[in-house]
Each structure stands twice: as structure tokens, then as C-alpha cells.
Amino acid sequence: MATYKTRALVVKKTKLKEADLILTLLAENGEQLRAVAKGARKPGTTFSARLEIFSIVDAMLYKGRNLDTITEVRSVDTNEASRRDLEHLSYGAVISEFVEKVALEGEENPVLFPLTCAALQSVGRVEADALPFVIAGYLLKAISYLGYKPSIGQCTVCGASKEDYAQEMAEFADEVDLDGEGVFSISAGGWVCPLCSGFGELEADDIVSEPVVAWVKALIGLKFPQIEEMFSASEDAGALAGELLSFCDKWIYAHLETHMRSLAYLSRL
Ligand SMILES: [Zn+2]
């Protein structure tokens, strides 16, 4: 029998016919599954309640030609707090959209499931004002694992490290005239040293401000509880929320070549 069992996160649900649901799931091994839950919306059934968006379930599925069918489901974690109001749901939608885009059918990815679950737990813990930081942290970590990590300490053009560069600057300060710190460019993939950024014009829209770069670096390196602490301890972080989301939007567009609708919407709020 072509049945199989997996732990999975419910990423999206769509109504099908009168009583069924189509679910998009992120399986524990990182692959995306699409499955039908037959009769899930019939009155009196608890099937649907266990398949709320962002809930983690142990599911039994039957392999179909196109879509698989969910035959049994046991709740592991309802993640209820992560969808407690409209704001949390709106930010959660970024996670759903991202998973749908990057998790592929039949392709394993060991990091995506634990990372996404950790992000949703963090979404559930924080108040609305910290959500942009949790979401940006999720996206930046996931992007880095997928091979599109922003280069922060090294010139993306010549490979010189920021430290080496500062040393050379000090040594040759009398002979060459190289001012400045370089720039952080989205299209170039990160920091571009003063020497390399001298070639050609970079568009203003492409250059990222220093405080945003500092947050990007922190968000990639810190775990979610630490991100939550850093946000609480910072008095002016809130003012950067829009810029940070806009950075993630532009970065994903430039390097993963996909447009995140949910993110573009949030960064304009
Ligand atoms: Zn360079």
C-alpha cells in the first residue's frame, strides 16, 4: 500500500468542492507536499480543526497520482499563538509564501522545517511591533542556508576583507586617496570596498544604510530568543522595521528572482 507517515507543518489551506480541503504542507524532511483532506469541512468533524494553518501534525497519507490524500492526522503543536490576530497572521503569511516558493516537491532540505517551526514559535511569543524583526530574521537565515547569504565582511567584487582593507588604508594613507567605508549593495550581493565601489554608478535604491546592515548581520547570526531580546533592548529599532522588510523584499527579488507579494505589502505599511 502506498501510504506513508510524516510530521509536517500546515502552510496553506484551500477549499475544494463542498467539504474538502487542499493542504500545502512542509514535511519534516523539508519537502513540500500537497494533499487533499477529504470531508475535512463537513459539519461535526474535528479533522479541519487539527489542520489549521501553522499547526504541526503527524499525518498519514496515501500516495495519489497527482495529489496525495491525508487519511489520518494527529496534532503535535497547534501553534495557536502564531495566528492570534490579524497582525500575526499578516506576518505569518510571509512565512507561508516563502515556504511555498522555496520548498520543492521531492527535494529534501534538512534546515527548512526546524527553522520554520522555530520562527513560528517566535511569532507566537512576540507582540506585533517585534514581528518585522522575527520575519526578517527568518528570511535572512533561510536565504543564507539556501546559498544567498549577504556578504558583510568581504568585498563581493575583489574579495578583500573589511579588516585587511582598514589595515591597508592605514598603511598607504599618505600615498593613495581612498576615502570612505565602501557601500553595501543589494545587486552586488553585499559590501563593496571603496576601491571597487569607485567603478560605475550604484543606484541609490540599491544601497543599504549602515543601521540596516548591522541588523541584517545580527539577524543572520542570532537565534530567535536572542533576536527578541535584542529588539526589546533597542529603543529605536522600531523605526527600521519598514526598511528592513524592504531590504528582504529587494534581496529576494534580486537573488532568488521571485517577488514576495506579502512582503512588499508589509514593507509599505
Ligand atoms: Zn573590492
Same-domain status, 24 and 131: no
How much is the pLDDT for 152? 94
Same-domain status, 70 and 142: no
Between the CA of 197 and the centroid of ligand 1 the distance, in Å, is: 7
Per-residue pLDDT of the chain (269 residues; tens, 9 = 90+): 599 999 999 999 999 888 899 999 999 999 999 999 998 888 878 788 889 999 999 999 999 988 999 999 999 999 999 999 999 999 999 999 999 999 999 899 999 999 999 999 999 999 999 999 999 999 999 999 999 999 999 999 999 998 887 777 777 666 655 567 889 999 999 999 988 887 667 788 899 999 999 999 999 999 999 999 999 999 889 899 999 999 999 999 999 999 999 998 887 77
State how far the Cα of 17 lies from the Cα of 38, in Å rounded to an integer.
10
Between the CA of 200 and the centroid of ligand 1 the distance, in Å, is: 13
Same-domain status, 158 and 209: yes
Same-domain status, 36 and 137: no
State how far the Cα of 97 lies from the Cα of 62, in Å rounded to an integer.
25
Same-domain status, 140 and 199: yes
Chosen domain end from 52, 78, 104: 78
DSSP lists the bridge partners of residue 238 as: none
Chosen domain end from 28, 63, 78: 78
Between the CA of 154 and the centroid of ligand 1 the distance, in Å, is: 8
Domain that holds residue 150: 82-269
Same-domain status, 64 and 93: no
Between the CA of 74 and the centroid of ligand 1 the distance, in Å, is: 54
How much is the pLDDT for 40? 86
- The string over 94-130, giving b where at least 16 C-beta atoms fall within 10 Å of a residue's C-beta and e elsewhere, is bbbbbbeebbeeeeebeebbebbbbbbbbbbebeeeb
> What sign for the dihedral angle of Cα 16, 17, 18, 19?
negative
Q: How many CA atoms lie within 13 A of 55 on its CB side?
A: 19
Grid cell digits, residue 47:
479533522
Same-domain status, 70 and 105: no
Between the CA of 189 and the centroid of ligand 1 the distance, in Å, is: 12
Say which CATH number the domain at 56 has: 2.40.50.140
Beta strand residue intervals within 200-240, DSSP E? none
Same-domain status, 67 and 117: no
Between the CA of 222 and the centroid of ligand 1 the distance, in Å, is: 27
Say which CATH number the domain at 141 has: 1.20.1440.120
Chosen domain end from 51, 78, 105: 78
Between the CA of 158 and the centroid of ligand 1 the distance, in Å, is: 4
Between the CA of 147 and the centroid of ligand 1 the distance, in Å, is: 21
Same-domain status, 198 and 173: yes
Same-domain status, 195 and 230: yes
Between the CA of 162 and the centroid of ligand 1 the distance, in Å, is: 9
How much is the pLDDT for 212? 95
Asked if 194 contacts 181 with a C-beta cutoff of 8 angstroms, the reply is yes
Between the CA of 241 and the centroid of ligand 1 the distance, in Å, is: 29
Same-domain status, 167 and 243: yes
State how far the Cα of 6 lies from the Cα of 108, in Å rounded to an integer.
13
Q: Burial, 65: exposed, middle or buried (Cβ in 10 Å; 0-12, 13-18, 19+)?
A: exposed
Between the CA of 161 and the centroid of ligand 1 the distance, in Å, is: 8
Cα–Cα nearest to 228, from 158, 108, 136, 164 = 136
Same-domain status, 2 and 110: no
Q: How many domains does the chain have?
A: 2
Asked if 134 contacts 119 with a C-beta cutoff of 8 angstroms, the reply is yes
